[in-house]
Structures are given as C-alpha cells and as structure tokens.
Amino acid sequence: MEERGIGRPSTYAPTIGTLLGRYYVERKQSRLFPTTLGLTLSDLLTEYFPGVMNLDFTAGMEEELDAVSRGERGWVPMLGEFYGPFRDALDNATESMPRVRLEEETDEVCDDCTKPMVIKIGRFGRFMSCTGYPDCKGTKPILNKIGVVCPDCGGDLVERRARGRGGRPFWGCSRYPNCEFIMNRKPVPNPCPECGKLMVQMNRNTVACTSCSWQESSGADGASEPAGTSQAEELVGVGD
Ligand SMILES: [Zn+2]
Ligand SMILES: [Zn+2]
Ligand SMILES: [Zn+2]
C-alpha cells in the first residue's frame, strides 16, 4: 500500500482489520491470503466500478483530499466530479451485476437430518447451513477444531475469539454449553510425559503441563500464533 501511494500509515491496520473481519482475506502462518469471497467480490467490483477500483483512483483521491485540506481545492466541485460517474456505475451495477452465491463444502453433517452442511455467509458472519435448506433449517456455528481432545469430556477442543474489541483467542470445548472446559492458552496435542494431563503453549518456545510443573521446549511447528498475550495470566471470563 505504501509503495503504491494508497492509504496512510494510520489506515493500514484498520484496512487489513476490515479485510479480515469481512473474510475477504484470511491469515495463514502470519501471511494474508485472499478468500474465494474476496476474489469474487474483487472481480465483480473491478468489472462494474473500473473508475473506482484501481490504484490510480485511490492515490489520486488522497492527493485531492490533501489539496482540499491545504485549502487549494474546493471540496464541492471535487465531490461533484467523483459522484456523477460513480452514481452511473452504481445504477448500472444495481441493474446488471449477477447475484453470486458462495458456499463452501464441509465434512460436517446436519444434526437434524444428517445431510451435509455448507458454509454460508450471513449478516452476522460465516455459519454452517444444512444443504437441505429450506426444508431443513439446521445451522451450526463454524468450529475451528485444533486437533486436541477435551480432557473433561473427550469432545473436540475449538479455538474461539472473545467478542468485542481485542478479540483475544481462547480455547473451549465443542460441546459447550454441555461442557464448560476453557483455556486462555492454546492446548497442544501431546499429553504431559510426567502425568499424562493436558499441556498448553505458554509462549512461542515453551509448552507446559496444566496439572504438574512439567515444561519443555516446543517443536519448530509449535506456536502458530505470536505470543502476544502477556497480560492474560489468569483465566478471563469470556462470554459467548
Ligand atoms: Zn438438515
Ligand atoms: Zn469437553
Ligand atoms: Zn503433567
């Protein structure tokens, strides 16, 4: 963004936050990748809003805004030049842009009718919906399984994110609310070699037992998340 003269240092982080929040991109090993949704949306917008969806427009707009803020350019004529063509493009898109349905297959089945479930994107984000819809209205939240078994009930442990600002990750049981197991550090698949209980990732390099004092350095692949949770010493009550 900096290279192309778009955005401002203060807008880089919020821009990336919006892209992640709307699931236009996803983070894998601390790099960003576009999702199918993001690619489809970008293709459609580029086709229907060629004047706006290009880097020259964004960079040019920011130069014009700077000119306005320096008092060299009136904002009314500037907006007028932008809005006329934009309104035409918007009218055209409203009429002829195709309505795209994006569904991702999953290996989950519906609890109600055992048909396979697909991931859909609704107003409140991504969720799993039964392929029997509209006959079956079964839905499930998307569970981010981490491949570790719940020490309390044998269910799958899943990664969740606290609501609201911060959005700190925490780990709970997929059988919540029936099982209320919760951890604010990431559980690891290998049990403690001393006592056989659950171990968690303490920081990038260390895993520790949740029951005894055993600690060991974790393998190269151990921590996928940066250890930026220094104040999260105690288990915080994270409502869902
Ligand atoms: Zn169903
Ligand atoms: Zn459990
Ligand atoms: Zn132990």
- % the chain with pLDDT above 90: 42
pLDDT at 138 over 70: yes
Q: How far apart are the CA of 191 and the centre of ligand 3, in A?
A: 8
What ipTM was assigned to the predicted interfaces of this complex? 0.75
Identify the nearest ligand to the CA of 210 by its number.
Answer: 3
pLDDT of residue 131: 93
Q: How far apart are the CA of 215 and the centre of ligand 3, in A?
A: 8
Q: How far apart are the CA of 106 and the centre of ligand 1, in A?
A: 14
Per-residue pLDDT tens for 198-216? Answer: 999 999 899 999 999 999 9
Rounded to the nearest 10°, the torsion over CA 30, 31, 36, 40 is: 130
Q: How far apart are the CA of 17 and the centre of ligand 2, in A?
A: 31
What is the CATH architecture assignment of 9-96? Orthogonal Bundle (1.10)
pLDDT at 237 over 50: no
Site of tokens 């894998």 = 28
Identify the nearest ligand to the CA of 158 by its number.
Answer: 2
Q: How far apart are the CA of 110 and the centre of ligand 1, in A?
A: 5
Strand partners of residue 161: 169
Per-residue pLDDT tens for 46-104? Answer: 999 988 888 888 888 888 989 999 999 898 998 998 899 999 999 999 999 888 877 88
pLDDT of residue 228: 41
Average pLDDT over all residues of the chain: 84
Q: What are phi and psi of 156, to 5 degrees?
A: -85, 135
Contact status, residue 101 vs residue 133, Cβ threshold 8 Å: no
pLDDT of residue 171: 93
Contacts of 228 (CB under 8 A, 6+ apart): none
Q: What is the C-alpha separation between 237 and 240, in angstroms, rounded?
A: 10
The H-or-E segment that residue 10 falls in is helix 9-21
Neighbours of 95 (CB within 10 A): 7
Q: What is the C-alpha separation between 64 and 78, in angstroms, rounded?
A: 8
